Amino acid sequence: MFRVLFYRPEIPPNTGNAIRLAANTGCELHLVEPLGFTLEDKQLRRAGLDYHDLARVHVHADLAAAWEALLPAKVYAFTAHATRLYTDVSYAPGDVLMFGPESAGLPDDVQRAAEVTDRLRLPMLPNNRSLNLANTAAIAVYEGWRQNGFATP
């Protein structure tokens, strides 16, 4: 299945919701430190409900460690500044769907790193800054899963 990568997430409920997403879709969730919370955070645990034991969550000390664990794979960096739509890609199991911190999104140097296959965006109304992190990840995961016939891992 797909691998969701949150680069330096800041808001515990978003990561908790991503844990539920991973548990319910068979995806892996990869988190790059520093995190804006601990994995024992009350809000994270509440948002993840009782799915924590059903999800595969990996924490990486930095982006280099994440690349070491995830590559070789196609890496799609999601950013509001991309021109290519998330629906313009043919996703395959093992692909990495990468998202940045809630306050600023992926830094330019990260989204343009050599390891990144392409930059993608979800459409939204003009003059709006961003979508919620967990919602964006869910939309991307379900598009990839749909393209693959909702196959189970």
pLDDT bracket for residue 44 (50, 70, 90):
low
pLDDT at 3 over 70: yes
3 state DSSP class of 118: strand
3 state DSSP class of 109: helix
pLDDT at 45 over 70: no
- Is residue 39 part of an annotated ligand binding site? no
Give the Cα separation of 146 and 144 in Å (integer). Answer: 5
pLDDT tens figures, 138-151: 999 999 999 999 99
- Is residue 122 part of an annotated ligand binding site? yes
Instruction: Catalogue all structural domains in the chain, each as residue range(s) with its CATH number.
Output: 3-148 (3.40.1280.10)
Give the Cα separation of 16 and 35 in Å (integer). Answer: 13
Q: Is the dihedral of CA 27, 34, 36, 105 positive or negative?
A: negative
Give the Cα separation of 119 and 72 in Å (integer). Answer: 17
The percent of the chain in helix, strand and coil, each rounded to the nearest 5, is 35, 20, 45
pLDDT bracket for residue 123 (50, 70, 90):
very high
Q: Using an 8 Å Cβ cutoff, are 145 and 88 in contact?
A: no
pLDDT at 32 over 90: yes
User: Once rounded to an integer, what is the mean pLDDT over residues 123-131?
Assistant: 88
pLDDT at 14 over 80: yes
- Is residue 36 part of an annotated ligand binding site? no
Report the candidate in 20, 13, 19, 4 with the shortest Cα–Cα distance to residue 145.
Answer: 4
Q: Using an 8 Å Cβ cutoff, are 99 and 6 in contact?
A: yes
